[in-house]
Copies of this chain bind each other. A is one copy, B any other.
Amino acid sequence: MKTTEAPGTRDRLIGAMFDSLQRKGLHGVGLSEILHDAQAPKGVMYHHFPGGKADLAVAAIEAGAAQIKASLLQVIEAHADPADALKIWWGHAHKRLERSGFERGCPLAAISLESTPDDIALRDALAQAFGAFRELVADLLAGAGIGAKRSTQLAALIVSAYEGSLIQARVAGSAKPVNDTVEMLLGLLRIELANAKESRA
């Protein structure tokens, strides 16, 4: 929210945490590694994030959510057909994963699975992020003429498929699970979109 915050150490810390979440999750990295990546000493981190590691993670999740949202909005604006937009955007994630040697996946997924019900702030931030994500997709579909309820459900399926396909590709060291998932899903989506268009005509 505080967009006027001076860029610098704080953002470098968030960036380094974001990076680590993509690669190994929250418990997979030590503070020392994050601090090293961000070129920052310890004190400065507890200055900006008094709550420590978890606090920084929440900030990184929020930054990640904002970034995902922005990039999705961008492809939506560039492609009139929702199916095309989703395909492009999915391709981005897929290429990032592949180019990194199957190291970099979704920054939200790993920490989601490491979190316990006690991690209130963490799960809150994550739930909000995924919720916003689903809503964005649902709005896209509703805008293409699909009914509200069906758009919501379809959006849930799309986001689920997105996360799940990245998990599988990651461990397989192969893009095939993503490609198979996307091809089938987009095929079904196009039928859905065609039906929506027809029933409006």
Contact = CB atoms under 8 A, between A and B. Distances in A.
Contact of A117 (B101, B161, B165): B101
Contacts of A105: 113
B130 A168 contact: yes
Interface stretch (A52-60, A72-80, A179-187): A179-187
B156 A168 contact: yes
Work out how many copies of this chain go into the complex.
2
Interface in A86-138: 101-103, 105, 109-110, 112-117, 123, 126-127, 130-131, 134
Interface of A: 23-25, 27-28, 101-103, 105, 109-110, 112-117, 123, 126-127, 130-131, 134, 150, 152-157, 159-165, 167-168, 170-173, 176-177, 180-181, 183-185, 188
